Structure 1
Amino acid sequence: MSKIIEVSGLQKSFGELRAVQGVDFYVEEGSLFAFLGPNGAGKSTTIDMLTTQLKPDAGEATISGYKLGREDDGIRSSIGIVFQDSLLDPLLTVKENLFVRGSFYNLSRSELKAAVARAAATADVGDFLNRPYGKLSGGQRRRADIARALIHTPKVLFLDEPTTGLDPQTRKNVWTTIRQLQKEQGMTIFLTTHYMEEAAQADYIIIMDHGKVLAGGTPYELKERYATDLLKLMPHNAEELQAYLQSKALDYMIVSGVYHIPLKQTAHALPIVEGCGANIAGIEIVSGTMDDVFLNLTGTEVRS
């Protein structure tokens, strides 16, 4: 894949606060890219710079072939943004909101009508197109927000915590829309989220904190590097199991009679299980998660 976003040495300070300290990363075209970090990490500042809302102090970035700071109009024409807080008018219908948004792009009346129809169909807002935005449910509002961002058919869609506060079923529906945009239209999705199970669906993840990039990789690569699998054993004879684990110098913790043994790799469970033999009454292997990765890298729990 080609790189649709390239960032090099991007910096931004607010007085003595160095919010972004020379970050480097890239995003492949058509990918789902997750940008993670705790509050105050510098995520929002970075995104504000990439979307031309904030001028960098130093560094370079290219979005869809346009140079940040030199070709900002081109960047704005190629991106869509779904903010955490909606920009739509609660008194207008969804359709009216979309027409208002579309009027910013100097389209002819026929082009505007076609753009609204296309965005509404893509975001699946047809059932409530003529209802006031302020009367919609949380999930319907989020889909309307996505439709607003799609009016000009952007190449990159920035999603700032798109499912925060939504119930699980509504979150699933919003994610169906996001996945369709990526797969059917080849749109690049730039996502921030506090839900690690959502981040785990990404093609590539960057984690930052204190204004710096801490790590990057696929979900699998990050779990391999920064998370630990866990082998849980329930023995017939606890003393015998303890003696075996101590003879192999294996770390373990006992929780309600179940022995928790950390594993660097899942395959390391095999010789342990074979060594315990018939003494095993129950067994479970728990894979490391993105929550573990986040905690190990940032030293803090995921929080909204």
Structure 2
Amino acid sequence: MTKKMMKVAMKLSKIVYIGNPEFAIGPLKHLQKSEDFDIKLVITQMDKKRSRGKLLPVAVKKYAINEDLPVFSTDNINSDESIEMIKSVDPDFIIIVAFGQFLSRSFLNTFKDKVLNVHASILPQYRGASPINHSLLNGDDETGVSIMLVDSGMDSGDVLKICKLKIDKNHNYNSLSEDLSELGGICLVDTLRNFDDLFSNRMIQNSEEATYTGFITKDMGKIDFNEDAVVINNKMRALYSWPKLFFEYNDQTVKLHDFDIVEKFSENEPGQIIKVNEEGIFVNCNDKCLVMKEIQFPGKKRMSVSDYLKGNQIEKVKLR
């Protein structure tokens, strides 16, 4: 019997996969690679207006189409149409990864104990919309992925399995997201393969220990030079994808893409430009001195300070 025939002969777990962003592609790939699962349907949100107003598919939809997986897009996962679409494939499991819509009690009752979520934190820490960002913002040494049953609360369902990951000092939001997406796929496959045992020994979350994370907002990227260098550096890592760090220079909003941290060598107040040379723009924060190495003025390309200084000047003003 060929490998393909053996796979057909096996009873594969039928999967409905629901997700949107790049992070959700990793677990989907791992389900595809495993011989234990049959992805019957991929559900995403509707196409979004992006570049120059064009309607473009979310990352998971684009991937699913390229992989010839059946795709259904909806702006209401709880609608009768959505539920009937899922029921038509009679799934063994429904996997939710960063979908951005709450599931109704009716949806959860219809597919009781079949709905699992891949969440990028060690629950009950960092429930909510931005767990990866907040692991970096808080300077954590460790994070992970929790595979949980979905209930009607905010990431409050029983946890089946947790897989942990050390946070490297060089991790930023993009690289940590990639690593957690990969880990999430490994953790999900292992959970589904051992579902009965993990379900019987699932962990009930202690909501009193829970922390909640909201959506990342643009104003979070503004540098407060009265903060310590480690805090500013953690913000750089956490907000690397968006909105990035920025400051106000002569009524212009300038993005900061790269900087070094050195010991203070002057008593200038935080935010005051101390000196400017090819090494960078030297600005004190609360405890150290930031050496800004790569910046971006409005409507311009990002460039090193040394290149910027070839045709421009930086005044020694106080940054806000």
Q: TM-score, normalised by structure 1?
A: 0.24
Indicate the structure whose relative CO is greater, using CA pairs within 8 Å and at least 6 residues apart: 1
- TM-score when scaled to structure 2? 0.23
More helix per residue: 1 or 2?
1
